Amino acid sequence: MTRVLYVGGFGRSGSTLLDRVLAQVGGCVAVGELVHLVQRGLIDDERCGCGEPFSACPFWGEVGVAAFGPTSWRSVDAEAVRGQQAALDRNRRIPAMILPQGHRRTAAATKDLGAWFARIYAAVADVSGASVVVDSSKHASTAFLLRRAPGIDLRVVHLVRDSRGVAYSWAKRVQRPEVQGSTDEMPRYGAGRAATKWLSYNSLFHLLAATGVPTLPLRYEQLVADPCTALQSVLELAPSHSVAGNPMRFRSGRLSLVLDEEWRERMTPRSRNVVTAITKPLLTSYGYGRKSA
């Protein structure tokens, strides 16, 4: 049984920061956003967090051998696995993952996909010697898929950040350094779309917790303000080589925890009001009240 600590929530909430912090803890191995391993690693051969292309990374090479034998990743039909992800790993599929009744063929395919990822997690744990694999994929549908995957002991950190700060971050231009020889940028969302996604993603993780998956709510602001206490809580829940995530994962050396609240000064009043209005129910429940408005 492989213990997987899954960092869930909506992007730009500090998951890569938490991933890097946990990577320094003995017994933990952080793999970034494993949900993107097939597309960005096997198909696009993007850079690993260590700086090497996925195909040249010694760590992932060993993981491939541990998971699939001497043929390593060459034995994987990456396009087929990616097709399964595109069809099954979607938020709209979550009801079928929860309800006992459902299409048998779809249920079997979902179980097979979960088993494939369980095989990767087990290989990562074997190669690294870690007792906990940290996956900061964030996607709610992926967490639901892993919930019943054989061989996985799933624990979830539900990471939340003030919706105004998240929406402001999604509006900025951020280059993707893992794409070699390219100026590709990370996706951008307008205020309304970012707010709607923030609300839906976080709501789905409340639903996941209601199904019985051990879940720890954690605010990004708490992580930065008191990292020792936050880290202790995370490690109580689940006693870097990364394949996807924020560009921060390519930085080396001392990691400074600095609260990013640029949005308070730079976000337009219109965008701020739109995001606040859309996300207000959960925003208030997370403790982002009048003083933080």
Q: Residue 42: give its domain's CATH number.
A: 3.40.50
Which stretch, 171-180, 221-230, 244-253, has highest mean pLDDT? 221-230
Cβ neighbours for 128, distance < 8 A, ≥ 6 positions apart:
29, 59
Structural domain boundaries enclosing 173: 2-292
Using the predicted structure, report yes or no on whether residue 241 has a pLDDT greater than 70. no
Q: Is 171 helix (H, G, I), strand (E, B) or coil?
A: helix
pLDDT in tens, 77-120: 999 999 999 999 999 999 888 876 555 667 888 989 999 999 99
pLDDT in tens, 33-75: 999 999 999 999 999 988 899 999 999 999 999 999 999 999 9
- Paired with 103 in beta bridges are none
Could you tell me the end-to-end alpha-carbon distance of the chain, in angstroms, rounded to an integer? 44
Phi, psi of 32 (to 5 degrees): 70, -145
Q: Where is average pLDDT lowest: 198-202, 248-252, 269-273, 287-291? A: 248-252
Q: Residue 259's pLDDT is what? A: 84
pLDDT in tens, 120-169: 999 999 999 999 999 999 999 999 999 989 999 999 999 999 999 999 99
CA 52 to chain centre: 21
Phi, psi of 29 (to 5 degrees): -130, 125
pLDDT in tens, 163-220: 999 999 999 888 776 566 666 788 899 999 999 999 999 999 999 999 999 999 999 9
What is the DSSP-derived secondary structure letter of residue 71?
T
Q: Residue 104's pLDDT is what? A: 67
Rounded to the nearest integer, the mean pLDDT of the chain is: 89
Which helix or strand (DSSP H or E) is residue 195 part of?
helix 191-210
Q: Residue 189's pLDDT is what? A: 94
Q: Which amino acid is at 104?
A: R
What is the DSSP-derived secondary structure letter of residue 47?
B
> Measuring CA to CA, which residue among 160, 154, 74, 82 is closest to residue 116?
82
- Paired with 29 in beta bridges are 133
Q: How many domains does the chain have?
A: 1
Cβ neighbours for 211, distance < 8 A, ≥ 6 positions apart:
98, 147
Residue 255: pLDDT band by 50, 70, 90 thresholds?
Answer: low
Buried b / exposed e over 77-91, threshold 16 CB at 10 Å, is: ebeebeebbeebbee
> Measuring CA to CA, which residue among 208, 189, 218 is closest to residue 278?
189
Cβ neighbours for 210, distance < 8 A, ≥ 6 positions apart:
none
Using the predicted structure, report yes or no on whether residue 246 has a pLDDT greater than 70. no
